[in-house]
Structure 1
Amino acid sequence: MNSNNLTMYMVTHKPVDFIPEGRTPIFVGNGDNIRDYLRDNTGDNISEKNPYYCELTAMYWIWKNDSSSKYISIEHYRRFFMDPNALVPKVCPKEKIEGYLEKGKIVLPSITKWHMSVGDIYREGHVGKDLDNVANIIAKEQPEYVADFNQVMSGRDQHGLNMMVLPKAIFDEYCEWLFNILFKLEKETDLSDRSKYQQRMYGFMSERLEDVWLKHNEYNSEVRELPIYFVLDTKLKSILKSEKNRFN
């Protein structure tokens, strides 16, 4: 594969020292971009929504402004896809990611298995009314997704993290579906009385909706799951946490 066909975006809200080879930083929000990274407040953008949408403002920017990449990857400055064959945890090289793409795979984080349903986990940690509103929006706007939504919310498996590697054309289709739902949800939601953490609701909600879209469009059989490499304040801490994640 021509390496120029895959752009591996690393989403960050601050300057960072650790940028794995082959990654392209994209700066989100209104912070001081002293490293001259790509920014999500250029071109067609929703950068002002970053406190509520988290890394989704970068995803929106990529959807609307990247017209040259055949494949794209979304990672975060503290979370990267891990090389599954490395004896000591390390970030998965771009060349290996390209190999998965050549085999027709979508790369996602390893499944998280919850002790209760995905829907109940959301209600326990966030505002349950938002999930009800999403269910109503899907029933009204995308009724063909209702069964998939109900199955995902009643199940206990979740990919999450808004990390992915996939063809740009498929990514565009996903974004069109996702943001259509989230923009409608905005019209029914008041975040003003919520903590800053709970105001990040659209980012949290999208982590659940991703599996709904994958299931409905029958992409689950094409997924290659990879563990996550976590970047902490020391390399030893990063390795230990990543090793623990590998076997969870």
Structure 2
Amino acid sequence: MDSPGCIVPGCRGTIMSEIKIYVVCHKLFEVPSHPYLFPIQVGASLSANRFPGMLYDDTGDSISNKNRSYCELTAQYWAWKNDAAAWQGIFHYRRYLSFDARSQARAAGEHFGRPYRVLERPTAQSLRRAGYDPQGLARFLEAFDVIAPVPENMGMTAARQYETAPHHYAADLTIVRELLRRGDPRDWRAAEEYLNGTNLYFGNLFLMRRPLFERYSAWLFDLLAKYDEQKDVSGYSPQAQRVDGYLAERLFGVYLTRLRAEGTAVGFVPRLHFAGMESRGAYLKQRAETLLLPPGSVRRNAARRLLRKI
């Protein structure tokens, strides 16, 4: 007889009762049908169109109207406030996580391989190859509390990378660092460790057990609200106005660093970049770039530094 916590027929033990991965969409692209993938339209309150067959971030308790600054975080807020699945995660319509056998075998270690792979589009076939078998994925999750992307070595500190990235301003990160310094000393230690390290967690992509997701969301949105109180970004360009999303990408690394210091079981798997959503040419270009300059490699970081000098 199946245990009360089963999510798939024939399972045994303590597999979680629900897994929900919210696939964030601000454009209308197909999300493959899968029992764990739930497409959600973000910025729905700011759009004249409703994407068919999706959840919407402007229902229930929401911050959809903040999407221009909060980006995919409006989906995270919606999931936090309006759902209570045992596992909750955030993906992007062009960026997923890989759960294939090789990724699973390396997830608990410190030698991860490349941080991401480039594929053309998310399809039922590509997801099968990436380990999205419902039973296998559920069993894999049993060993962990958090699933995070493999860190990418950028050849510079996380703080420096933020300060030099297009449409990012050092002053914004300075405000958040000061908020962390004045808060819980454990958060401050985690922030100093992560922001002064060279391994970065990109994409705002993750899967967490619900208690850790609740804790992360409460902490994150409190920090961003305090940042918003101090900084007026109305004069920023549209790209720079995405600042809360940019900051959250770094704050995820801070939170994860603290969780690891506490002994939380974290599994690391590569990202999947679907580069052909708008054109096959874009996919072929990014595929060639990653072959010539592998992500996280010394060669890629050297090329990046050279381009900054030109």
TM over 0.5: yes
The residue number in structure 2 matching 1:28 is: 42
1:229 to 2:242 alignment: no
The residue number in structure 2 matching 1:156 is: 198
The residue number in structure 2 matching 1:200 is: 242
* Structure 2: distance between partners of 1:16 and 1:62: 20
1:55 to 2:72 alignment: yes
The aligned amino acid for 1:82 is S
SS of the aligned residue for 1:25 comes to strand
For the structure 1 residues 224 and 237, does the alpha-carbon distance in structure 2 shift closer, same or farther, using more than 3 Å as the test? farther
**Larger radius of gyration, structure 1 or 2?**
2
The residue number in structure 2 matching 1:111 is: 151
SS of the aligned residue for 1:225 comes to strand
* Structure 2: distance between partners of 1:237 and 1:124: 25
Deviations 1:191-229 (A, max 9, x none): 112111111011011111112112223367622222222
The aligned amino acid for 2:227 is L
1:142 to 2:184 alignment: yes
The residue number in structure 1 matching 2:7 is: 2
Is the 2:143–2:265 Cα contact (8 Å) retained in structure 1? no
For the structure 1 residues 239 and 76, does the alpha-carbon distance in structure 2 shift closer, same or farther, using more than 3 Å as the test? farther
The residue number in structure 1 matching 2:175 is: 133
Q: What is the root-mean-square deviation of aligned Cα atoms in Å?
A: 2.6
* Structure 2: distance between partners of 1:38 and 1:143: 38
Q: Report the alpha carbon displacement of residue 172 of structure 1 after superposing the two structures with TM.
A: 0.5
The residue number in structure 2 matching 1:120 is: 160
1:13 to 2:55 alignment: no
The residue number in structure 1 matching 2:94 is: 78
For the structure 1 residues 216 and 130, does the alpha-carbon distance in structure 2 shift closer, same or farther, using more than 3 Å as the test? same
The residue number in structure 1 matching 2:300 is: none
* Structure 1: distance between partners of 2:144 and 2:172: 35
Identity in percent: 27
1:97 to 2:157 alignment: no
Name stretches of at least 5 consecutive residues in structure 2 with no aligned partner. 1-5, 9-16, 103-116, 120-125, 296-310
* Structure 2: distance between partners of 1:239 and 1:8: 28
The aligned amino acid for 1:151 is E
Is the 1:230–1:242 Cα contact (8 Å) retained in structure 2? no
SS of the aligned residue for 2:182 comes to helix
* Structure 2: distance between partners of 1:19 and 1:240: 24
Deviations 1:82-123 (A, max 9, x none): 24348x963330524322211124211111111110000111
* Structure 2: distance between partners of 1:217 and 1:112: 19
SS of the aligned residue for 1:141 comes to coil
The aligned amino acid for 2:218 is E
Is the 1:74–1:163 Cα contact (8 Å) retained in structure 2? yes
Is the 1:230–1:238 Cα contact (8 Å) retained in structure 2? no
TM-score normalised by L of structure 2: 0.72
* Structure 1: distance between partners of 2:87 and 2:283: 28
TM-score normalised by L of structure 1: 0.89
SS of the aligned residue for 2:141 comes to helix
